[in-house]
Amino acid sequence: MSDTRWAWVEIDLGAIRHNVASLRAVADPAAVWAVVKADGYGHGAVDVARAAMDAGAEGLCVALVAEGLELRRAGIDAPILLLSEQPPETAGHIVEHRLTPTVYTRQFLDALVAVGPTGLPVHLKIDTGMQRVGAHPHAAAAMAQSIAERAPAVRLAGVFSHLAVADDPSDAFTARQVERFDGALEHVIERVGSVPLIHLANSAGTLAHPETRRSMVRAGIAIYGVSPGHGVDDLCADLRPALQLRARVSYVKMARAGSRISYGRVHKFERDTTVATIPIGYADGVPRRLSSTGGEVLIGGRRRQIVGRVTMDQLMVDCGDDEVNVGDDVVLIGNQDGPDGEQTIRAEDWADRLDTIGYEIVCGISSRVPRFPRRSIDG
């Protein structure tokens, strides 16, 4: 627990290792590369990266040069793939710190070559329908040729694309993306020869689409034990959530029937009730809308409804007639034992209430909430 505030995050590194091992078994013989961008989806990139590598991940993926540098400065020597092109002025850092860049334009490729690398591995990204970034499938072979022409400064180490709807196995668009990718890849190989690493699968692809598990998979949200989407929930049974968001009760009072609470006074108490204040709010990543969509926390192993609007630093919950004391343990995301057995609130539960995805929930937990990595007994 934090010694500076009564709100904190616990990260179960044993769960990370378990999830990576589980995904390796699913993806075999493809290698697993762990996606640790956005500070490891809010779980702590350095600790997650080390746990993932301990469990057999063969590489790491990040979104930004700064994220790659953080891993290198922590002494992590594994391959680190940058998932999209970066500002040209970062080329020197990419080469110096042995990051593996993604390329899809000649301008960025030339910025890398201008730094003077030797044998810098690069991955070519092909846009097969996500329409975010990447070379058009018809232009992929020419881009691969441009990379080959700039040897020995750079070498083509990988070709990949990104799936848009892999979390919905019923959507035929994934098959179309695979078809477009394979057509483009065939022309790349005709032009420049074989490529060491081919990858298509994200977490949902790894779990639900065997045809996308090529020489490696890029596992992101699944390594944190969060489902990529309801369409693949049934394939996530072996995954363990790694994050718990916890706090302690900071204040207890009796609210009288007919009184109202918090900004806007939108919640009216129908009867006398015990109200507990929790010292965590929307500045910490508890969405303000959670109070108007039936959000709950666990205290004493029972579900307690959030009442009134979540404020920047605090929220309040209705504890009915139960005895609650300052310092009592509160679980916002995670598990707690209670009189009726273990109770659980998942990141996905928040996501469902807020019409969003589990990714946004865990990534949205503010950096001002301290993280405490721990090791589960069987991890």
Q: What's the CA gap between 254 and 246, in Å, rounded? A: 23
Considering the candidates 41, 104, 253, 263, report the single residue annotated as catalytic: 263
Q: Which of these is catalytic: 37, 104, 224, 282?
A: 37
Contact, 76 vs 53, CB < 8 A?
A: yes
Tokens 């919640």, located at residue? 267
Rounded-to-10 torsion of CA 75, 79, 84, 86? 50
List CB contacts of 140: < 8 A, sequence separation 6 or more.
124, 126, 159, 184, 185, 187, 188
Is residue 268 part of the annotated active site? The answer reads no
Task: Give the residue ranges of DSSP H helices in 13-165.
Answer: 13-27, 37-42, 45-54, 65-73, 91-96, 106-114, 140-149
125 is known as an active-site residue = no
- Catalogue the E-assigned strands of the chain: 7-12, 31-35, 59-62, 80-82, 102-103, 120-125, 154-160, 197-199, 216-219, 243-248, 251-255, 260-261, 267-268, 273-278, 296-299, 302-307, 315-318, 329-336, 343-345, 371-374
Over its C-alpha atoms, the chain yields an Rg (Å, rounded) of: 24
Give catalytic residue positions.
37, 263
